Structure 1
Amino acid sequence: MLINATQPEELRVALVDGQRLYDLDIESGAREQKKANIYKGRITRIEPSLEAAFVDFGSERHGFLPLKEISREYFKKAPEGRVNIKDVLSEGQEVIVQVEKEERGNKGAALTTFISLAGRYLVLMPNNPRAGGISRRIEGEERNELREALNGLIAPADMGLIVRTAGLGRSSEEMQWDLDYLLQLWTAIKEASLDRSAPFLIYQESNVIIRAIRDYLRQDIGEVLIDSIEAQEEALTFIRQVMPQYASKIKLYEDSVPLFNRFQIESQIETAFQRVVELPSGGSIVIDPTEALVSIDINSARATKGSDIEETALQTNLEAAEEIARQLRLRDIGGLIVIDFIDMTPAKNQRAVEEKVRESLEADRARVQIGRISRFGLLEMSRQRLRPSLGESSGIVCPRCNGTGIIRDVESLSLAILRLIEEEALKDRTAEVRAQVPIPVAAFLLNEKRNSITKIELRTRARIIILPNDQLETPHFEVQRLRDDSPEAHSSQTSYEIAAAAAEVEEIAPLAAATRTLVPQEAAVKTAPARANAPVPVEAAAPAPTPAPAPVAHEPSLFKGLVKSLVSLFATKEEPVAPVVVEKPVAEQRPARNEERRNGRQQ
């Protein structure tokens, strides 16, 4: 695990296998992430037609709170029969809410009153006793063992618990410590909610460094390299309290070569921002996000690996399936995804590609549902949206094309403006029509279409002024109609004076908009009260040499990474803290994921 924290504006966490980038998480300081944050909000509007309420929780847009996500503790009275949201809630009512989905486009954040607090091994649902269970990824005998361990925990009867995948093989004492930590955190949140009136931020989800360590760090991670002393101290403080057995894995990277360059992954990160991703065989995949879904197209391009066209199609599709699974993780793409594979006639080839897709997505932390390749060669799938995609968190919509990717050419736009000028000039009592246009459009209108403008002026008896504006780019323009009773229509200003005045107004507007910024909120609760460190499990294995220091002189290889993982697997951890617990050997460790279950089902 590599953590790059040298630039305060952007924290980056990468999981690397040898020199191949496996997963990536980027957190931008300019864009506050709200998912999993807990707020005290105020209901501002109730919409019976949507069976939902809108909540002011301190953000620019009000959050959306559906009726099904409202705990009965907030109901004014016990409902009889079908619940009418108007009868059980009132405007101005204060509620404690958690952000379930980030704001996207014009949509506000999706909220819930069913709070979930994620720990290392457990997820606590403090106001949802019907929720609870074990991660879907844990099956068979392991599931039964965890159920027994869960039954042995001392937990309030009115709260729900979910065992995360990281809880596999953990003792009751370790899970009890995790539960006690979450209970103390919930108590602190409840007490803080009483201190102030809504809206305000009560609890903020940990930053990307703490989240990555909590969710990803396990036995098969050889080491965690951090290139910032402050970030290393922050990580060590957390890990010594929650996972002291892994403290020796946290290492400071001090080489002059930047951390990500040392592992040669900067170029791999750049592919996550590109529309076209090249495949080793010479083919490529093209990723296009749309409002409804993400479309992915596979092109054979220069691929010539196979002995015939069918073999080439199969090999390219298999390569693409593996790369698509990787790109979905790197880009954090969620929602509906449609993949257009290269056409394959044999059914066995289609099944092979489907199986490759499933195999490549097995290690994904997000929940994934995969369909079959249809007769049109399309495979439909959905992926859980864990957080905003890389494009949403690190990019903005192009101000020139508004995200469409294309703009009208100069001639087409000029003719459209000319028709609009004519339409405005034909209206009654029109004295003047002013058109502010980009310079290329102005050149076309004043030269190639000079006669057309003159004819419109003679026919309508209206003055037409074309104002070239170097601040405008196609396809942007502005057409203004002045009536004969308007003072501006009778002013003695020349056209260049009008253009200069308009340019001054445009320069002032962005400055005014820039001053309207929201001040980041400070969380009332940052962590649970200090307490004893977590118990340290003693690995049931023979002693081994101390793990090697951070690489600074040689490029790491896949073979060395594998050897290092095997060495760390059998290494003894010497941490003199808390009670000693003997951990049962685990056949297989899977990636942790933040499971949530509400009303007896997973969300």
Structure 2
Amino acid sequence: MADQVFISLGPDRAELFRWSTDRLVQATTEREGEGGPAGGIHLGRVVKLDRTLNAAFVEIGLARPGLLPLKKHDSLSEGDAIAVQVRRDSREDKGVRLARFNAKPNLLADKHPPALLIPPPMLWQTALRALVPERVDAIHCDRRGDGEKIIATAPELAKKVQHTPRRNWEMNDAAANEEIAAALQEEVPLSSGGSLLFEPVRTLCAIDVNSGDAGARRGEGGGINETALAVNLAAAREIPIQLALRNIGGVIVIDFIDIEHRGKRDQVVEALREAVIVDPAIDWVGNMSRLGLVELKRRRSGPTLAEMWLKRTQG
């Protein structure tokens, strides 16, 4: 089923909601200037070279210098001015990750480092550019003037843009708020009777698949447990939706219910790989171990859903 995207670029807040069939799979909300530095282009100054890391630390006007990986025979020196783009936001005690940017001379004219050359995109712009055009059925914009901004951001989606006032959105605010409220909870019930438990920590996110009242218990049944398989398959179809909506990135470890039969384990992994089509940010899905563990990797992009909605509720 193709996606329906709803965008409102109001004067106070820009919001995007992406629905796949009848499920909300992505939501962003942001005030102008509220977002992180990722995507921004700066004229920076090299403040330190670290040959052991083969990297330069570049001052771009943030709380701490950004890290710029160097090429093998790079001729940069401390004090040099250099145009860079922020490729990754800061994390815990680490600064932003940078990449070189080939800036045109007119962009650099009369600029002295550190200086912002091009502001970072807003969350709705980043989300829009990441979409697969073939999977988008329509993009509904709240105001007629919003269409021009949307087309300028993603020209390849121009034919999908149409004006639909927010009050007439088929998937309205009430429906979106209900889905978001559910996604802000740690536990997610499954149609099979089991549940998912999301436990993000600093280095990864663990997802535990529980049998719950489905009656699937580890070690019970003395062999292939068809109920356990049903819960695992339901979990495999639900997890990519939850990761996309919650915007959880990095390494994800899924603890499925143990299944001894290798063919059944492969069936669960195949269902997971088919389901990740809903989320273009998922880069890789591993195999299932004998303990029922599956690793996957999802690109980090902006704040989590919980972080965005916390800012929203705080005004």
TM-score where L is the length of structure 1: 0.46
Find the partner of 2:185 among 255, 269, 274. 274
Find the partner of 1:364 among 279, 282, 303. 279
1:91 aligned partner: 78
Q: Which amino acid aligns with 2:242?
A: Q
- Equivalent pair of 1:3/1:225 in contact (CA under 8 Å): yes
Find the partner of 1:285 among 175, 191, 196. 196
Q: 1:375 to 1:210 in 2, by over 3 A?
A: closer
2:87 aligned partner: 100
Secondary structure class of the residue paired with 2:116: strand
- Equivalent pair of 2:193/2:214 in contact (CA under 8 Å): yes
Find the partner of 1:260 among 172, 186, 190. 172
**1:206 maps onto 2:121 in alignment:** yes
For residues 438-485 of structure 1, give each alpha carbon's deviation from its aligned partner in whole angstroms, at most 9, with x where no partner exists. xxxxxxxxxxxxxxxxxxxxxxxxxxxxxxxxxxxxxxxxxxxxxxxx
Secondary structure class of the residue paired with 1:225: strand
Q: 1:206 to 1:247 in 2, by over 3 A?
A: farther
1:8 aligned partner: 12
- Equivalent pair of 2:141/2:165 in contact (CA under 8 Å): yes
Find the partner of 2:57 among 49, 54, 59. 54
1:376 aligned partner: 291
1:408 aligned partner: none
1:328 aligned partner: 243
Q: Which amino acid aligns with 1:38?
A: I
User: Larger Cα Rg: Structure 1 or Structure 2?
Assistant: 1
For residues 365-390 of structure 1, give each alpha carbon's deviation from its aligned partner in whole angstroms, at most 9, with x where no partner exists. 12522222112221122222244433
- Equivalent pair of 1:334/1:386 in contact (CA under 8 Å): yes
- Equivalent pair of 2:8/2:166 in contact (CA under 8 Å): no
Q: Any gaps of 5 or more consecutive residues in structure 1? A: 69-81, 116-126, 128-185, 397-603
**1:111 maps onto 2:114 in alignment:** no
Q: How many residues align?
A: 302
Q: 1:107 to 1:191 in 2, by over 3 A?
A: same
- Equivalent pair of 1:63/1:111 in contact (CA under 8 Å): yes
Shift of 1:242: 6.8
Q: 1:341 to 1:212 in 2, by over 3 A?
A: closer
Aligned-pair identity in percent equals 31
Cα distance in 2, alignment partners of residues 368 and 376 from structure 1: 23
Q: Which amino acid aligns with 2:83?
A: I
Shift of 1:22: 2.8
Cα distance in 2, alignment partners of residues 292 and 339 from structure 1: 14
Shift of 1:359: 0.9
- Equivalent pair of 1:46/1:90 in contact (CA under 8 Å): yes
**1:235 maps onto 2:147 in alignment:** yes
Shift of 1:191: 1.0
Find the partner of 1:37 among 33, 37, 40. 40
Q: 1:337 to 1:32 in 2, by over 3 A?
A: same
Secondary structure class of the residue paired with 1:236: helix
Q: Which amino acid aligns with 1:349?
A: K
Structure ranking higher in strand proportion: 2
- Equivalent pair of 2:255/2:294 in contact (CA under 8 Å): yes
Q: Which amino acid aligns with 1:288?
A: E
Cα distance in 2, alignment partners of residues 101 and 367 from structure 1: 16
Shift of 1:292: 2.0
For residues 266-289 of structure 1, give each alpha carbon's deviation from its aligned partner in whole angstroms, at most 9, with x where no partner exists. 211223322111112221111111
- Equivalent pair of 1:19/1:265 in contact (CA under 8 Å): no
Q: 1:289 to 1:28 in 2, by over 3 A?
A: farther
**1:21 maps onto 2:8 in alignment:** no
Shift of 1:50: 2.4
Q: Which amino acid aligns with 2:148?
A: L
For residues 103-131 of structure 1, give each alpha carbon's deviation from its aligned partner in whole angstroms, at most 9, with x where no partner exists. 11111100111x3xxxxxxxxxxx5xxxx
Q: 1:368 to 1:92 in 2, by over 3 A?
A: same
Cα distance in 2, alignment partners of residues 197 and 239 from structure 1: 33
- Equivalent pair of 1:236/1:247 in contact (CA under 8 Å): no
For residues 554-582 of structure 1, give each alpha carbon's deviation from its aligned partner in whole angstroms, at most 9, with x where no partner exists. xxxxxxxxxxxxxxxxxxxxxxxxxxxxx
Cα distance in 2, alignment partners of residues 40 and 377 from structure 1: 48
Cα distance in 2, alignment partners of residues 48 and 219 from structure 1: 45
Alignment of 1:489-568 (within 5 A): none
Q: Which amino acid aligns with 2:287?
A: R
Q: Which amino acid aligns with 2:62?
A: S
Secondary structure class of the residue paired with 2:259: coil
Secondary structure class of the residue paired with 1:353: helix
For residues 185-224 of structure 1, give each alpha carbon's deviation from its aligned partner in whole angstroms, at most 9, with x where no partner exists. x64xx31212210111111243334444444373653332
Q: Which amino acid aligns with 1:99?
A: V
2:208 aligned partner: 297
Q: Which amino acid aligns with 1:280?
A: S
Q: Which amino acid aligns with 1:3?
A: I
Query: Which range is displaced more, 332-341 or 12-21?
Result: 12-21
Cα distance in 2, alignment partners of residues 261 and 25 from structure 1: 13
Cα distance in 1, alignment partners of residues 65 and 258 from structure 2: 46
Q: Cα RMSD between the aligned structures? A: 3.1
Shift of 1:351: 1.1
Q: 1:63 to 1:237 in 2, by over 3 A?
A: closer
Cα distance in 2, alignment partners of residues 283 and 199 from structure 1: 53
Q: Any gaps of 5 or more consecutive residues in structure 2? A: none
Secondary structure class of the residue paired with 2:133: coil
Alignment of 1:124-139 (within 5 A): 127=102
Shift of 1:67: 1.6
Q: 1:206 to 1:257 in 2, by over 3 A?
A: closer
Q: 1:195 to 1:23 in 2, by over 3 A?
A: same
Shift of 1:258: 10
Q: 1:4 to 1:303 in 2, by over 3 A?
A: farther
TM-score where L is the length of structure 2: 0.83
- Equivalent pair of 1:38/1:204 in contact (CA under 8 Å): yes
1:578 aligned partner: none
